[in-house]
């Protein structure tokens, strides 16, 4: 698959262990190879972030189902509905039981993993290059508002990443986050930045699954 020069540069930077600022299917974010502990540590330091885990973005459904998530039947059923109803790929991050070895060390002490399936071409290019998903986290100091404006990002954050890929973004809000509670077969909505979108998702999934608080 062919990508333009800047996208290839971003992919090469991540492949070599660097960190990049890229447009995603939602907002601009820091990204790196989640298996590279040094790169992950740099992002934590830049954001003054504690041990809270990062979201993984990937364009490969095969990796999402076979590498990151447990083979639990409930998780499989929810993903199937999301695919059928065109919710995935899309702006929904799913937190669910992780597989036995997702190869991501910052998850070693945790039981769950947060993943978003996307067809964004920038993310796809990087994932194709490294053969794995990527870290995605907003441009901000932890606890402060996310930054959406590329001019502000360029002026204040350019020296903190190895490469900035400037493109228009398709959204101005972070992803909706849902948690799958396998032992209870329930879904919990943890983040709803777009209430209208979240209500639509709830209507769709509530036909098959119970939603809890």
User: What pTM did the predictor assign?
Assistant: 0.94
Rounded Cα distance, 156 and 46, in Å: 12
Q: What pLDDT shows up at residue 168?
A: 74
Counted residue by residue, the chain has a size of: 213
pLDDT 10s digits, 120-154:
999 999 999 999 999 999 999 998 988 888 899 99
Regions of the chain with pLDDT less than 50: none
- 5-212: CATH number: 3.90.870.10
What percent of the chain has pLDDT above 70? Answer: 98
pLDDT 10s digits, 62-76:
999 999 999 999 999
Q: What pLDDT shows up at residue 170?
A: 63
């Amino acid at each position: 698959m062919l990508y333009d020069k800047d996208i290839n540069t971003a992919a090469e930077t991540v492949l070599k262990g660097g960190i990049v600022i890229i447009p995603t299917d939602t907002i601009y974010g820091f990204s790196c190879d989640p298996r590279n502990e040094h790169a992950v540590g740099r992002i934590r330091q830049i954001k003054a972030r504690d041990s809270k885990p990062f979201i993984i973005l990937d364009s490969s459904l095969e990796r999402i189902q076979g590498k990151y998530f447990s083979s639990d039947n409930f998780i499989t059923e929810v993903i199937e509905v999301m695919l059928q109803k065109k919710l995935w790929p899309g702006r929904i991050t799913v937190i669910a039981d992780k597989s036995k070895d997702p190869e991501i060390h910052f998850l070693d002490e945790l039981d769950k993993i947060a993943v978003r399936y996307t067809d964004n071409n920038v993310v796809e290019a990087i994932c194709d290059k490294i053969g794995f998903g990527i870290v995605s986290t907003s441009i901000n100091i932890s606890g402060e508002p996310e930054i959406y404006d590329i001019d502000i990002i360029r002026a204040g954050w350019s020296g903190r990443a190895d490469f900035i890929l400037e493109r228009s973004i398709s959204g101005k809000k972070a992803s909706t986050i849902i948690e799958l509670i396998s032992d209870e077969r329930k879904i919990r909505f943890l983040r709803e930045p777009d209430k209208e979108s979240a209500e639509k998702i709830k209507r769709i999934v509530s036909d098959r699954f119970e939603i809890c608080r």
